[in-house]
Amino acid sequence: MKKITGAQAFIEALRCEGVTHAFGYPGGAVLDIFDAIMDARDIQFILSRHEQGAVHAADGYARASGRVGVCLVTSGPGATNTVTGIATAYMDSIPIVVFTGQVPTHLIGNDAFQEADIVGITRPCTKHNYLVKDVCDLGRVIKEAFYIARTGRPGPVLVDLPKNVMNSTVNFKYPDSVSLDSYCPTYKGHQGQIRRIMGVILKSRRPVIYAGGGVTLADASKELAEFARRLKLPVTTTLMGMGAFPSDDPLSLGMLGMHGTYAANMTVTNSDCLIAVGARFDDRVTGKVDEFAPKARIIHIDIDPTSISKNVKVDLPVVGDCRMVLRGMLAELAGKDAELAEMVSQTEPWRREIGDWKKQQPLKYCKSENIKPQYVIEMIDEIAPDDTIITTEVGQNQMWTAQFYKFNEPRHFLTSGGLGTMGYGFPAAIGAQAAFPGRTVIDIAGDGSIQMNIQELATVVQYNLPVKVMILNNGYLGMVRQWQSLFYKKRYSHTSMAVAPDFVKLAEAYGAKGLRVTRPEDVKDAIREALRIPGPVFVDFVVDPEEDVYPMVPAGAPINNMLLV
């Protein structure tokens, strides 16, 4: 067996894991790896312009494709610049593996040049992390890293690679399997518990499904749709669950929670049986916990046992993979046609009441001579191809997208949910576009958040990635301004973005195309033109500066206490 360097072994390990794309930024501690990358023609390395952008790109790649995203950066500041991206992936359970360079092992702890204890720094925001001290351990560690990242409740794993380990030599053989005695995710739900759950559901009269991002992560969307349609159960989704159930299905209630629909929030509040599938009862969903679904028996299906009763006490938990548990629940319907028919008949008044809520308070906005951001979202939805992947930044642009864009397939909506990371959407779009070069990828942004990682314009131009960025430019940090307007007597402390770049000129300075739209009647043509242009495009929509996101549940209030348009 021929000896190879640790850097060459690293490339071989990526090949064995089926990696075709990686994102990152070079530096001294990883020069051996970057030298080996020169010979790795089967792995496309995309050079970001900031390490945070590289992690978000790997994250977007993972969310869009369902595969593990890969990021490679250097030591010290290169490693610490990844932390926000890692925390973003951790909060949303996204499978990525982040490789960081490190100073030689004999210098660790000596405050060497560009040394940082990235293992210690990221311990709270990774699913697991490693410091490789011996090149002989490299194959095992990488194998375990990918396995841990994608199995169970997915999440980010960090592997720290000292420079001397990378230039050491080894007789390299990649392991065929992983053996981790302390890590054994439960996939198959307890059949007795599934049977009890189905008994409760079939006897309910005001049931509702509350679906989260776990449905998408488990590739359980088809099973969820079949289950909901057979039992005629209304379905509401979290922000992370958008697309897990088709938005245009008559049973869909849209998103629930702080900026959820009136129908969704009223349905959950008045239900007698809440079926939570792959959701974690986030505070933006529950509002005042004591008054969340107060009349309901709560069923919770989740692969992560630590999520059960963590935020809201549940009555009937099932630990297991969402797809496998839903299949088990569907199997329990065999031979129960009479019970099913009775339930569907008995729940008809409930569905009529929900229909009334939909008609009473649909999502709406007041049109004016200014461009309304909601209108821009509606037109993007109308014009963009059905397989378009939408990413967003964080804030009003994110909420309007969740409300007014119709997501009918999973993995078409990529956004930072748990951490709420401004600057996420643009680099995430880069990752999605790399995964699917033939599909349309659109980042819906605000003029504040797009500036967080705007340097990645150079990346899309260098690699000719035709990402379209639609900026809802209102001259403010819009969501913060909205809170100041409602709760701080319109004292707009440091939320004005009056001094901002000319996004058209900025795009052109990087070699991309820039468009500006100031009139509602020009919105459609601008979107069509942006989609016709073969390369990256920035479209600057100058929108109503004081438009707010409604409905809105004030912080600490129950979710049926909504501020409406």
Strand partners, 338: none
The amino acid at residue 287 is: G
552 DSSP β-pair partners: 563
Task: Judge contact between 540 and 471, C-beta under 8 A.
Answer: yes
For 130-173, what is the HEC assignment? EECCCHHHHHHHHHHHHHHHHCCCCCCEEEEEEHHHHCCEEECC
| 268-304: burial string, b at 16+ Cβ within 10 Å, e else | bbbbbbbbbbbbbbbebbbbbeeebbeebbbbbbbbb
Backbone angles phi, psi at 546, to 5 degrees: -120, 25
Q: Known catalytic residue: 281?
A: no
325 HSE (CA, 13 A, CB side)? 28
CA distance 161 to 154: 22
| From 44, 114, 346, 455, active-site residue | 114
Strands 169-171 and 3-5: antiparallel
Catalytic residue (choose from 51, 144, 223, 393):
51
Query: Out of 143, 163, 468, 513, which one is annotated catalytic?
Result: 163
Instruction: Check 258, 422, 479, 552 and give the catalytic one.
Output: 479
Catalytic position from the list 3, 113, 226, 295: 113
Q: Would you state the structure tokens that stand for residue 23, as one six-digit string?
A: 């994102």
Annotated active-site residue 310? The verdict is no
Residue 512 near residue 457 (C-beta atoms within 8 A): yes
Do 119 and 101 meet the contact criterion of CB atoms below 8 Å apart? no
* Residues 444 and 397: beta-carbon distance below 8 Å: yes
- Find, among 59, 301, 273, the residue nearest to 186 by Cα: 301
- 413-414 β-sheet, strand order: 413-414, 389-392, 441-446, 468-473, 537-542, 513-517
Tokens of 44: 């496309």
Is residue 479 annotated as part of the catalytic site, yes or no? yes
Two tokens, residue 130: 């490693």
CB of 435 closer than 8 Å to CB of 65: yes
User: In which residue are the tokens 């790997």 written?
Assistant: 58
Structural element, H or E, at residue 207: strand 207-211
CA 328 → CA 300, 322, 457, distances in Å?
15, 10, 47
Asked if residues 395 and 422 have their Cβ atoms less than 8 Å apart, the reply is yes
Length of the chain: 565
In contact, 231 and 201? CB cutoff 8 Å = yes
- DSSP alpha helix (H) spans, 436-502: 457-462, 478-487
What is the 3-class SS of 360-372, one letter each residue?
HCCCCCCCCCCEC
Residue 520 near residue 544, CB atoms below 8 Å = no
396-404 and 478-487 are packed helices; what angle lies between their axes, rounded to 10 degrees? 100
Host H or E run for residue 380 = helix 373-383
114 is catalytic: yes
The enclosing H or E element of 468 equals: strand 468-473
- Determine the Cα–Cα distance for residues 9 and 13; give it in Å rounded to an integer: 6
Relative to beta strand 413-414, strand 389-392 is parallel
Query: Is position 3 annotated as part of the catalytic site?
Result: no
Kindly state the tokens that stand for 376: 């821009």
Active-site residue set: 51, 113-114, 163, 479
